Structure formats: C-alpha cells, structure tokens
Amino acid sequence: MLAAAGCGLLGDALAAGALAIGKCGAYGQAFDYPTPAAAIAAARQKCKGECTAVTMRRACVALAIDMTNPCGAYGQAVAPRISSALNAATRYCYQYGGKECVIRAWACDARG
C-alpha cells in the first residue's frame, strides 16, 4: 500500500513538460520532468536550430504544420486533454494560413 502511495507522489512531482518549436517543422519534446525549466532545456536540446518552447504542466501540447509548406504556417496548443490540444493546434495552423495542416508532434505529461 505504501508503494502505491509513493508512485502517486512521484507522478505528481514529475508533471512538467515542454515542446520546443523551430523552423520548417523542427521540434523537440520533453515530458514528466521535475520542473518546467528542466523540461524546456530537454526539449530545446532535441530541437534542431533556434527553437522556442511551450510548457505544460498536468496537460498536453500539440504542434500542427502545413504539409504543403512545412516552413510556413503552424499552430501550437496546450490543453488539459490531448483531443483538445490536437484540435486547437490544427485550427491555429489553418488560421495562420496553412492549406493542409497535420499534427507533427504531441506529448502529454504525467497528468494530461
């Protein structure tokens, strides 16, 4: 019984994540890190080029890019559930001028 309680505490402690987004569909993702700063550093390390990061805590993040022009429009979203993040990222990609937007990457942390 004590082990189960300990696992629950560990899941809450490791509840920070990030998605780093670069040019032309480049990305890096990190989830279940102890702090947002650690998640950002890990995501940026996995992303090629100059990348900005979006953080999540107890949530999901998604990135959609335009397949007709991967270096053009994209959308990103953070939401409590993966379905909401996926839908919002795709919607933003179209709003920013995308013609054929698809999900490029997504991640959920320990509670998303």
- pLDDT (tens digit per residue) in 50-73: 999 999 888 999 999 999 999 999
Q: Is the model's pLDDT at 15 over the cut of 80?
A: no
13 vs 82: which has the higher pLDDT: 82
50 burial level (CB within 10 Å; 0-12, 13-18, 19+): exposed
Q: Is the model's pLDDT at 103 over the cut of 80?
A: yes
Q: What pLDDT score was predicted for residue 32?
A: 85
For the record, the structure tokens of 6 come out as 């300990």
Which runs of E-coded beta strand occur in the chain? Answer: 16-21, 27-33, 52-57, 60-66, 74-79, 101-108
96 burial level (CB within 10 Å; 0-12, 13-18, 19+): middle
Show me where the domains of the chain are located: 14-108
